[in-house]
Structure 1
């Protein structure tokens, strides 16, 4: 009898108070907050038992992991309830009397109240941990969502359209699963691909029915649908191309870094201006102190990468995945089980020409300026792994690695499976701040490229992260092609040969005797006097005195140079990408030099290549990429070229 009495009182409490019309909003909001707490704790409990890598996550990663579990539970609840109320409950049926915009019920109000409770909880976590769980765009999104849902709950107005919008939360579990797979190191797995396809189909279906909705977590999966344009500038001293990139450090801080398709690591100078050292930068006996430098202690979202991560194994080039944790001093049981929480040991990363950087791996939020459907936005990519470099040799500023490795910038942002393209401005724009080259990553980099000249990518077992193509020959003007050695059109069983496309190398390098034959052919057809004095002073192999009665000195009879790639592809290089005026006009004469160099075993340029008999056989350098749009089509495995005036696309 006592049990029945308590049951009866409980039913009265629920019926007369918690679900009474006047109490529904408040009870449901509290219920939503309680749901968030329970789902957060449940995610933590389940993950600690069924995901062995959970214990090795950092504190911030664990919080975001659990938060996403909470958001998944809310998304499933609100999607199911919204679909029921819109399509099956009869609340918004045409058979009902009265305007549909003013219809509501206790159940619809309760559903919205649970969602309000979720937004309050999630907003509190974002504010408390700002900006680790999201930047300003998250705050704006949550405040607007909370205001809209609260209003429609309390007023009973527009609930049909609110529920139709909330059905878009059906994509959130897929978005969160994508993040879980990424953190778990399963970005290359079939599950990741299936997840991406399922998300795209879901977006497409929902977009057809109710329009595109930007909702919680959109920054995490936007790489599948986004067009990212990144400004590229030039450094006149070296002729290298720069990319503008930002890391959040309390407030956004912008770094200028080289864009290098010949390496994977992205790094920035760390410490203070006085503590960062660069040897042999500029003056041979001086140090360069670039600004700005990154101070990890000033970034609340910064964390050291762990020794057991695949990024740490990659940076240390170890065949044994346990080596970094062993070097970090982890006990055997901890690193064998993947539970060692010690940071990744410091690394050294080498480039060509004796360049070297020393630093440690860190993770933080990288912010890119991009656009979606033509609307400019800022994109935050949390958990981006980069090098925090304290000292270097011959590397005065940072580098954005665009190679094929897992550490590269396009790989970490999820674009490498699709591709990217760039169109570098001519060197004459180096001092013009109003023009910057464009870099496009994602699907739109590959669209509308039917008129491009495509050549297949080659693969090397020793240098799998380079972008290799095959060079069949070089022709001068309308002359016959000078055949390249077979080693440049293919890669042997040891991984040697071929030509790499490397923006980190300034000039194109070709091996002898092929290169000497090209020089002889050029010298025989160019009708100008050689400038042997400038050849000695500049180190270039061919320099000529060109008549220049009027500036700019663009009218000359220097021949065009054509590259012949595999697949019957003939790329005619813009003349300004082959010859450069190394002197100002004097007595109506200017000296122009050929900007090609010999491929030596001990190159002095900034690249990771070997000589003619070891590693890549030739290099296509960034100077010859000017005014040529280049597409790296990773889906098909090819590289496309299209000469054009890149200033028109800047």
Structure 2
């Protein structure tokens, strides 16, 4: 999930906050808590995830604008809204909150109380004010006044430009005379499914035995359609991996349950390495990260992890996907990214159609049910209610560097009520308007279920293997 900061119309004046006061880290990942969608309405659930995956894809394609070696593991949980969450602790004493783990954005922020905000300052956005609200009472907020290590970030602090993705001029961007101590201007972040806005804090992050002081974190005083805070794991300077100096991080995603009742979790592992190392993890297949040559023209794209996808086969037959969607072009558009914040994989229409057509051509044993496709937003869908066992053509992805993977059928077909199976790939123009530009394909977390995935940042490569996530 990618994020972009923009200037707000008004400056926030903030009261002075309270006093202030390598490594490998593993953290459990979870699905963030949110209102549970009625279990009986599985069609509605899938339709909701289709829409959020498309909204996420549109945003990613067109965003608005060293310590001793240690390993830390944290639990990772799955949630009904289609994401995975991890608990992180900030402040002194620590306050623990839930964050969506998001490899498609680079900013870490939590919902925050606003008791310390100056009464003369306010937030405003170019959109309707009704879309903005204070942190929901359902989401636990961070309370800065209860932390002795909280402090406002100054606008002359280099980290201020990290969260705004541009250089900041104090006098120009903070024109209200009552602004105290020339604080970093408020931020606004746009995601595919909502927005958030607040002020930048310098805080202490606690990860088991590791404490990281002066960590840049967003203190969001309002959010729209955000079920939890977000921990950006993308490639920007403000991301959690960058601020911790991680050599690599890895995770294994539990199967989706589409509810918030499960207490099962897998693990997020953070590794901070002091020495360079090109050692590969046993049994992993690796593919190099690909650089988008035109990210300078679209700075938000620099946050993404691009992969070199060479070809796709269905049942052993090559799917003729136009090359411009598999590799970034001269204009910076196209290419394939991997995003833990997207649920269902997105493909540009010109890439999706040959894939869908190949499945339709090969699947003869089950009747296609277009009336269900219209309800859910996924296609193609097939009636499998009379089948004792279900068999679908194999979907295999071939990556640069010789790595290839045959996805388990449950990673590319969703089975609804034991009667219908739908391909879990979305595209523009099916459940939403077409948008041009940006990545041609976004690999979502549904396709990563029960895979161990390693982001080797030091050696610029992605490793993966199929594994039962516990």
- Superposition TM-score tier, normalisation by shorter sequence: 0.7 to 0.9
- For 1:253 and 1:581, locate their aligned partners in 2 and report how far apart those are by CA, in whole Å: 39
Between the aligned partners of 1:538 and 1:601, the Cα distance in structure 2 is 10
Displacement after TM superposition at 1:291 (Å):
2.5
- Structure 1 residue 330, shift from structure 2 partner: 9.6
* Residue 293 (structure 1) aligned to one of 120, 138, 141: 141
Matched, 1:268 2:99: no
The residue number in structure 1 matching 2:91 is: 248
Match of 2:13 in 1: none
Higher relative contact order (CA 8 A, sep 6+): 2
Q: What residue ranges of structure 1 are gaps of 5+ in the alignment?
A: 1-58, 62-128, 134-195, 197-220, 332-339, 370-377, 605-609
Q: Deviations along 1:39-64, whole A, 9 cap, x unmatched?
A: xxxxxxxxxxxxxxxxxxxx999xxx
Pairing partner for 2:165 from 296, 317, 324? 317
Contact 2:135 2:141 in 1 (8 A): no
Instruction: Tell me the residue number matched to 1:92.
Output: none
Matched, 1:258 2:106: no
Please name the residue that 1:136 is paired with.
none
Higher helix share: 1
Residue 635 in structure 1 maps to residue 467 in structure 2: no
What is the CA-CA distance between 1:434 and the residue it aligns to? 4.2
1:419 and 2:253 matched? no
Is contact 1:420–1:446 with CA below 8 Å preserved after alignment? no
Partner of 2:330: helix, strand, or coil?
coil
Choose from 355, 368, 375 the match for 2:207.
368
Separation of aligned partners in 2, 1:474 and 1:620: 13
Instruction: String of CA shifts for 1:103-155, please: whole Å, max 9, x gaps.
Output: xxxxxxxxxxxxxxxxxxxxxxxxxx7xx55xxxxxxxxxxxxxxxxxxxxxx
Which of residues 401, 406, 410 is equivalent to 1:576?
Answer: 410
- Correspondence 1:459 to 2:459: no
Asked whether 1:556 is paired with 2:402, we answer: no
Task: Choose the corresponding residue for 1:386, options 217, 221, 226.
Answer: 217
Give per-residue Cα distances to partners, 1:207-228, cap 9 Å, x unaligned: xxxxxxxxxxxxxx24xx1112
Contact 2:319 2:358 (8 Å CA) reproduced: no
Q: CA–CA distance in 2 between the matches of 1:534 and 1:260?
A: 31
CA separation in 2, counterparts of 1:386 and 1:234?
23
Asked whether the equivalents of residues 246 and 253 of structure 1 are also in contact (C-alpha less than 8 Å), the reply is: yes
**Corresponding residue number in structure 2 for 1:327:** 173
1:471 maps onto 2:302 in alignment: no
> Greater share of strand residues, 1 or 2?
2
Q: How far 1:580 sits from its partner (Å)? A: 1.6
Paired with 1:559 and 1:323, the residues of 2 have a C-alpha distance of 57
Q: Is the 8 A contact 2:325 2:351 kept in 1?
A: no
Q: Which residue of 2 aligns with 1:188?
A: none
Give the whole-Å Cα distance in 2 for the aligned partners of 1:362 and 1:501.
Answer: 29
Match of 2:79 in 1: 235
Q: Distance in 2 between matches of 1:600 and 1:547?
A: 29
* Structure 1 residue corresponding to 2:195, chosen from 323, 338, 356: 356
Q: CA shift at 1:304, angstroms? A: 0.6
The answer to whether residue 435 in structure 2 is matched with residue 435 in structure 1 is: no
Q: Among 496, 504, 514, which residue is 2:341 paired with? A: 504
1:622 to 438, 442, 445: 445
The TM-score, its normalising length taken from structure 1, stands at: 0.55
How high is the TM-score relative to the length of structure 2? 0.74
